[in-house]
Copies of this chain bind each other. A is one copy, B any other.
Amino acid sequence: MSLGPEDRLHTWLRQRLRRAGFDRLGDDGAILPAAGPWAVTQDHQIENVHFSAELDPRLVARRLLAVNLSDLAAMGARPAFAFLALSCPPDFDARRFLESFIAAGQRFGVELAGGDLARNDKITTVLTLLGTLPPGGDWLTRSNARPDDRLWLAGAVGLSALGRCLLESGARVAARSVDLSAIGELTRREEQLGRRAVRCHLAPRPQLEVGWWLGSQQRAAAIDISDGLAIDLRRLCRESRVGALIQVESLPIPKEFISLCRKVGRPELDLVLGGGEDYALLFSIPASASPPRSLRCTPIGAVTADPRVLMSLGELVRPLPEAGWDHFIL
């Protein structure tokens, strides 16, 4: 399996760091090995890379927080403290950004505990987030999947990418509403899903409760889908030294999703498998276990001893296409 340049760099880096004693770098964050325990995650949000330059600073802040919370969700951690690095041009409304960040943080139990501000040509934000272990919980890792486990999804895949395409096709965000008139004639359900897609893209919802439930299970593997289902499923499989077979029919794809994909001229499977920025949680648990219905998870396939990562579509079984979002390729 070929890795993109970013993955290769990660792999190389991990080899160096394993030697130094840290063995959790394949996961979404690091567990500090002493006195805590603390889970630490770190993620960027950069203008014109992760979000458009016109985006309201309030939404930039919420997005930055959400993508980091999603990493903590994939570790089974409870969010605690944030360290925020913000570099931006002097005309960026940093205060609006910070206000929104603090308010959104409070909703998730996150306290902004420090950071650094600097000047930059483009808005560049980095969040370092520390989380604790919930009582009775355990850290989640990517390496705990075993053959015959069932694979599950918490959250939607492709919806964020559809939202991005709608914005690129002229959808507009004003105050709290999403204006889809540029997309053309839409049914009421298409409008509803389109608005949900844009919101899901701008302010994804981290799957923290699902992470905590998984941490209370006997065995679970989890990863948050930031680079697309295909890439992140491969990562989970690689860390666990297993393969997977997913049923495309079982993926949660409403028919309005398909019709909206046509309107923005993108094949729906491209977005579902490789759209990226979903911040859904992909996880595996023993086939005997099932998440509570209130967590709204969807079974999408199984872990296999065969190391290939496959998808079935009706009778057809084929390798899962390597579509995805790699910052060093795109």
A-B contact pairs, 7 of them (CB 8 A): A17-B102, A30-B81, A30-B113, A35-B132, A44-B118, A85-B128, A90-B328
8 Å CB contact of A85 from B17, B85, B106: B85
CB nearest to A12 among chain B residues: B95
- The secondary-structure label for the interface of chain A is mixed
The yes or no answer to A21 lying at the interface (CB within 8 A) is: yes
Copies of this subunit: 2
| Cα separation A83 to B31 with both chains bound (whole Å) | 12
Residue from the list B35, B42, B115 in contact with A115, Cβ < 8 A: B42
Whether A85 and B117, one on each chain, are in contact in the complex, defined by CB atoms closer than 8 angstroms, is no
Would you call A9 an interface residue if the criterion is a C-beta within 8 Å of the partner chain's C-beta atoms? yes
User: Cβ of B126 and Cβ of A32 under 8 Å apart?
Assistant: no
State the CA gap A102–B14 with chains docked (Å): 12
Residue pair B40, A113 in contact (C-beta under 8 Å): yes
> Of all chain B residues, which has the CB nearest A5?
B90
Q: How many residues of A contact B (CB 8 A)?
A: 59
Contacts of A83 in B (CB 8 A): 30, 40, 42, 128
Q: A12 to chain B: which residues have CB within 8 Å? A: 95
* A279: Cβ under 8 A from any B Cβ: no
Docked Cα-Cα span, A87 to B120, in Å, equals 12
Q: Mark A9-40, 1 if CB is under 8 A from B, else 0.
A: 11011001100111001000110100111101
